[in-house]
Chain A
Amino acid sequence: MNRPLAWVAAAMLTGTLCAAWGLLPGLAIPLLLVAAACLAGAFRLRNARIRPFVVLVGFIGAGAAHWELNQTPNSDPFADLVANNPVSVTKVEGTVRSVTLSIPGEDRLRLILDIDTRIDNKTSSPIAGRAVIHWTRSTGLIFPGDRILVEGEASVAIAEVNPGVNGYEDYLRNRGVNTAIDAAGPKAVTRLGEAPWYLPWNWAARFRQAQADNLARAMPERVLPFVYAVWLGHQSALSQEEYLDYVWSGTAHILSVSGVHAAIIAFTLNFALRALLMARRPRSVMVMSAVFAYALVSGASVPAMRAAIMVCLYMSADLLEREPDTTTALSLAGIIFMLWDPRSVFDIGFQLSFASVASILIFISLFQNRMEKVHWFLRGPIATSLAVQIIPLPIAAASFHALPLAAPVANLVAIPVLAAVLWLCFVTALLSFIWMPAAQIAGYATLLPIELIRWIAEAGSSLRPLSKIMTTPTTHAWAMYWIAASLLAATLVVRKDLRKSMLILSTTAFAFSFIFWRPLDYEPEVVMLDVGHGDATFIRSTTGETLLIDGGDASEFSDRGRQIVAPFLWARGVTRLDAVMASHTDRDHLGGLLYIIDNFDVGAAMLGALESDRPLEREFVARCAERGVPILRVKRGDALQVGNTGLPIFHPLPDWSETTLPNDLSIVTKLDFASTSFLFTGDIERAAEASLDLWSIDTDILKVPHHGADTSSTIPFINAVTPKYATISTGSHGRKVMDQPIVDRYKALGVSVLRTDRLGAIRFALVEGQLHVESERAKRGYPIAKD
């Protein structure tokens, strides 16, 4: 309690949050608070009871003022240029800021580039900006600090943006990246000049790349993705399936280099050096430099650097002949990060790592005191792995939506094994620069611990029926939960006679938190999700039924169902879908639904009347059977009822022999939504459009068939629908079938076109009975490309 820096950190955090939520707006009020506190200090406020409050008020003001001062939007002229001239091939020059690891066999690189020059018709003009470059079919290596020339398609839409989903674009925008450039082919990126020799980032990246190449030769192939993740901080080589095992066993955190890894390195190295009888001070210096070296080599990611700084703050106590104090080290690290960039308060990684350490500090004694019978050697680790869960739970629920009950046990075993893996990686990396055969011995030795961790993850995830899916808590639940946690923490310090009543209060608060975890009332809405190329529409009808039409694409690299649709639904408090409809069986519509079937309580699944033999359809049917979801085959003329919501089916014909194209067999259906109506068309093409009964399909909002491709959207069809809005679900990167003439056709007919590649997710809601259209991208204040 009597740790001044802890109070300062808490005050600054409060100030920052108040400013961010608009409770302390402007610069004047916060500065006034600071001035008042300084004045009170100057007048030598001797009253020891009041003084701490004055200091607190001062730092609350300082935190708010600091937030306000950091709010000046960083101007990015290049992004403005791209927003005003969309879909243009651009040529830019700049200095590489960071780059992903180049893995043998993978030909994709991701660079972050500080642009300084734009080349237009062989004339170059200076322009500033920061962009992420996705370079496919890359050749050659690029390192931070190098100057490069990039030619590619630039866009201000970096990735998909959906309500309630914290995604890749948010991550990059938080780091000042405002544009994305897609560069394809070996000639898209040219290296103009090397980095100056004195740049440590450049050495670190080169060293990291050299290690990746060496490790690929020294280690068996099956452990490489894991080693890249934990040793070099490169996660994307892991297969999705494997990653999911870690998520469901609650051990996914060991895959991203963080405080746990830094702590393992620091702890084991300190122990080893002590055994070598190294004196305390040089030992601390050694440990600190090792942790920093590890953070640099593992990609100098923000969490790794944060962990390294925290370990250093802890270890530097020895240099000053003091005992380390974890609470103060944590607070000081928090203050440093808040000063460095107050936005980091809203970074999930920042929140999780600070919440975890704080949780251990506060609650470890709660568990340790109750485990006198447990062997002393196990007591600490067990208490730690239980205590670490408490404070971060709502944060983890909001970001991972999983509460794996196997987590404490799985981590208890996996983390010591991870220590072995890290040291074996170190030995292998070291030896691989000296003598490859020896490195291979060490490299193959990693097989055992890594297989063990993998086995733990698999075993943990096989207990998945035991783990709970957590929706994102409501604000009330969030507040209630932390009140309950504070009360629980208070039971540790209050007098004995108060303890019981505190415990009861805390339990009640926890119970209330879980009762109000989901919103009590829901708004009816129709959300066309931004899933890139593909379709996914969530409907909550005016009578409250939940319905999902299509689930986006799923490939071996990415699964929109898992990455976008499911998190979106969980963020909305949805765990049950009354019906799931697959308009047809193409991958970009059906693929993502597999994950939905597996993880949601689905009332019924709807497919077009004609059964086909496509593998994806067969798998979908099999999964539905496995989960006990009834399958409805629908055809023209059916008047489908989902609860109280009617869905008349206009297509496909059951005995339509004109075509066997899956696209033309898409389900076409209509939804009445208060006074408006939606027409969902799947991917129907000309033939199907022509076969529709033109009188029945007049609606206000049309989901444009086939992502706006010129295979569909004939003029008679549009004239029959006479929509007010036409929504096109398409992506700004990767595969695209949309054709500009089709967009122009709609516009010429007086229809407003809403494109998910420009607007992000498009949400239709009822505001006082009136239809209200909302773009997620606009809501977040992200730039939207002009037409």
Chain B
Amino acid sequence: MNKGDISAAAREWTLTVKNLTFPIFCQQCRIRLLTDDNGYFCPTCWESSPRIERPFCPICGKPHRAGVGLGTRSNFRCGPCSTQKKPYPYDRVLAAARYDGAIQLAIKRLKFNDKPRIARPLGELLREQAERELDCDAYDYIVPVPLHRVRRRARGFNQAELLAREILPLFSDAVIDTSLVRLRPTHVQSRLHTDKQRKESVRGAFGLSRDANFDKKRVLLIDDVVTTGATIHECATVLKKGGATVVDVLAVALAIPGSDADSADLGRKE
């Protein structure tokens, strides 16, 4: 028996003991998980959660409805984005998945149930999408959307920062920069229900710390979920004011109001 066999056997036994003493279950369908691969969701739930694949709008990231499932088509702008010349302060939004199913649950668990380890499978999702869709050498800074320091204390971590760390190896020239800060506490966005409330809530909430240097830099802004875009809108405005030439947004999930209703309902009926 060589060394590799022994360590493999040891790993297998450790896994068995772990499975016995700390069994884990899919957060969505409650089936028992026997490996640490994902740690929170079974492959069925995880894979069946809808992803965003081509074609989608290269500006706002929304997938085109007609083309869902036809992954090889090229992207084109959606209606609103093609009529306006410069619609948003950020240059583009890229999201890996729709805010639905297992991924929606994962993000909620990550943020609200003190489970920072879910950042790993979510980061993996993000990394795959970035590898496919982004020019990874084109950024100088990776900036996670900040939490207010009080909330950061209460939560113990910043989920966007955890995600940023997960994808960092992909970006050879970039470093994580945390000089974008949240100046005042804001409401939890998911408890505000209208677009207007959310915009009001984050207006002027962000700023740059004194040692920030975004002059002529290309920035990738990381967020867990983009819903109405109010948060990233504010962040990008601040970053652009700070001199950034490019602000792209990379998010795990994109909430698509209305258009997602049918697929979301189908998912729940199962």
**Is B175 located at the chain interface by the 8 A CB criterion?**
no
**Is B148 located at the chain interface by the 8 A CB criterion?**
no
Q: Which residues of the other chain, B, contact A3 by a CB distance below 8 angstroms? A: 23
**How many inter-chain residue pairs (CB < 8 Å) link A and B?**
48
* Count of B interface residues, CB-CB < 8 Å: 20
Query: Of A22-30, A273-281, A515-523, which binds chain B?
Result: A273-281
- What's the Cα separation between A275 and B151 when bound, in Å? 9
Q: Which residues of the other chain, A, contact B116 by a CB distance below 8 angstroms? A: 280
**Contacts A280-B116, A321-B36, A323-B115: A5 and B156 contacting too (C-beta < 8 A)?**
no
**Is A341 located at the chain interface by the 8 A CB criterion?**
no
Structural contact, A277 and B153, CB atoms closer than 8 A: yes
A266-291 near B? 1/0 per residue, CB < 8 Å: 00000000111100100000000000
Contact with A324, one of B22, B154, B155, B156 (Cβ below 8 angstroms):
B22
In the assembled complex, the CB of A62 is this many whole angstroms from the nearest CB of chain B, namely 16
- What's the Cα separation between A328 and B23 when bound, in Å? 8
Structural contact, B32 and A328, CB atoms closer than 8 A: no
Contact with B23, one of A276, A313, A321, A325 (Cβ below 8 angstroms):
A325
Q: Which residues of the other chain, B, contact A5 by a CB distance below 8 angstroms? A: 20-21, 23
**Is A317 located at the chain interface by the 8 A CB criterion?**
yes
Contact with A275, one of B18, B21, B40, B156 (Cβ below 8 angstroms):
B156
Within 16-50 of B, Cβ neighbours of A (below 8 Å) are at 18, 20-25, 32, 36, 39-40
Structural contact, B156 and A277, CB atoms closer than 8 A: yes
> Nearest B residue to A314 by beta-carbon distance?
B22
Structural contact, A323 and B24, CB atoms closer than 8 A: yes
**Is A332 located at the chain interface by the 8 A CB criterion?**
yes
Structural contact, A321 and B117, CB atoms closer than 8 A: yes
> Nearest B residue to A3 by beta-carbon distance?
B23
**Is A4 located at the chain interface by the 8 A CB criterion?**
yes
Q: Which residues of the other chain, B, contact A321 by a CB distance below 8 angstroms? A: 36, 39, 117
Q: Which residues of the other chain, B, contact A322 by a CB distance below 8 angstroms? A: 18, 22, 24, 39
In the assembled complex, the CB of B181 is this many whole angstroms from the nearest CB of chain A, namely 16
> Nearest A residue to B115 by beta-carbon distance?
A323
* Count of A interface residues, CB-CB < 8 Å: 19
Structural contact, B23 and A320, CB atoms closer than 8 A: no
Q: Which residues of the other chain, B, contact A276 by a CB distance below 8 angstroms? A: 153
Structural contact, A328 and B24, CB atoms closer than 8 A: no
- What's the Cα separation between A276 and B157 when bound, in Å? 11
Structural contact, A4 and B22, CB atoms closer than 8 A: no
Structural contact, B22 and A325, CB atoms closer than 8 A: yes
Structural contact, B20 and A4, CB atoms closer than 8 A: yes
- What's the Cα separation between A119 and B242 when bound, in Å? 89
**Contacts A2-B32, A280-B116, A323-B115: A275 and B22 contacting too (C-beta < 8 A)?**
no
Contact with B22, one of A2, A277, A323 (Cβ below 8 angstroms):
A323
Q: Which residues of the other chain, A, contact B155 by a CB distance below 8 angstroms? A: 274
> Nearest B residue to A327 by beta-carbon distance?
B23
| Among B18, B21, B39: residue with most chain A CB under 10 A | B21
In the assembled complex, the CB of B222 is this many whole angstroms from the nearest CB of chain A, namely 20
- What's the Cα separation between A332 and B154 when bound, in Å? 31
In the assembled complex, the CB of B185 is this many whole angstroms from the nearest CB of chain A, namely 15
- What's the Cα separation between A332 and B20 when bound, in Å? 10
In the assembled complex, the CB of B17 is this many whole angstroms from the nearest CB of chain A, namely 9
In the assembled complex, the CB of B144 is this many whole angstroms from the nearest CB of chain A, namely 15
- What's the Cα separation between A4 and B17 when bound, in Å? 11
Q: Which residues of the other chain, B, contact A317 by a CB distance below 8 angstroms? A: 22
Q: Which residues of the other chain, A, contact B153 by a CB distance below 8 angstroms? A: 274-277
Structural contact, B32 and A320, CB atoms closer than 8 A: no
Q: Which residues of the other chain, B, contact A275 by a CB distance below 8 angstroms? A: 153-154, 156
Within 135-171 of B, Cβ neighbours of A (below 8 Å) are at 152-156
- What's the Cα separation between A321 and B37 when bound, in Å? 12
A311-345 near B? 1/0 per residue, CB < 8 Å: 00100010011111100100010000000000000
- What's the Cα separation between A277 and B116 when bound, in Å? 13
Within 112-143 of B, Cβ neighbours of A (below 8 Å) are at 114-117
- What's the Cα separation between A323 and B117 when bound, in Å? 9
Q: Which residues of the other chain, A, contact B152 by a CB distance below 8 angstroms? A: 277
**Contacts A2-B32, A321-B117, A323-B115: A328 and B156 contacting too (C-beta < 8 A)?**
no
- What's the Cα separation between A276 and B154 when bound, in Å? 9
In the assembled complex, the CB of A340 is this many whole angstroms from the nearest CB of chain B, namely 17
Structural contact, B154 and A328, CB atoms closer than 8 A: no
Q: Which residues of the other chain, B, contact A313 by a CB distance below 8 angstroms? A: 21
Within 1-53 of A, Cβ neighbours of B (below 8 Å) are at 2-5
In the assembled complex, the CB of B25 is this many whole angstroms from the nearest CB of chain A, namely 8
> Nearest B residue to A271 by beta-carbon distance?
B154
> Nearest B residue to A323 by beta-carbon distance?
B24
Q: Which residues of the other chain, A, contact B39 by a CB distance below 8 angstroms? A: 321-323
Q: Which residues of the other chain, A, contact B115 by a CB distance below 8 angstroms? A: 323
Q: Which residues of the other chain, A, contact B32 by a CB distance below 8 angstroms? A: 2
Structural contact, A274 and B156, CB atoms closer than 8 A: yes
> Nearest B residue to A276 by beta-carbon distance?
B153
Contact with A320, one of B18, B114, B156 (Cβ below 8 angstroms):
B18
- What's the Cα separation between A322 and B25 when bound, in Å? 11
B85-129 near A? 1/0 per residue, CB < 8 Å: 000000000000000000000000000001111000000000000
- What's the Cα separation between A513 and B36 when bound, in Å? 46
Q: Which residues of the other chain, B, contact A328 by a CB distance below 8 angstroms? A: 21-23
- What's the Cα separation between A322 and B23 when bound, in Å? 8
**Contacts A277-B156, A322-B18: A2 and B23 contacting too (C-beta < 8 A)?**
yes
Q: Which residues of the other chain, A, contact B24 by a CB distance below 8 angstroms? A: 322-323, 325
> Nearest A residue to B154 by beta-carbon distance?
A275
Q: Which residues of the other chain, B, contact A280 by a CB distance below 8 angstroms? A: 116, 156
10 chain-A/chain-B pairs, Cβ below 8 angstroms:
A2-B23, A4-B20, A274-B154, A274-B155, A275-B154, A277-B156, A317-B22, A323-B115, A324-B22, A325-B23
Taking beta carbons and an 8 Å cutoff, which residues of B are in contact with A?
A: 18, 20-25, 32, 36, 39-40, 114-117, 152-156
Q: Which 9 A-B pairs have the closest CB atoms?
A: A322-B22, A274-B156, A275-B153, A2-B32, A317-B22, A3-B23, A325-B23, A323-B24, A320-B18
Q: Given contacts A4-B20, A323-B22, could you give 17 more A-B pairs where the C-beta distance is less than 8 Å? A: A2-B23, A2-B32, A5-B21, A5-B23, A274-B114, A274-B153, A276-B153, A277-B153, A313-B21, A320-B22, A323-B24, A323-B39, A324-B22, A325-B22, A325-B24, A325-B25, A328-B22
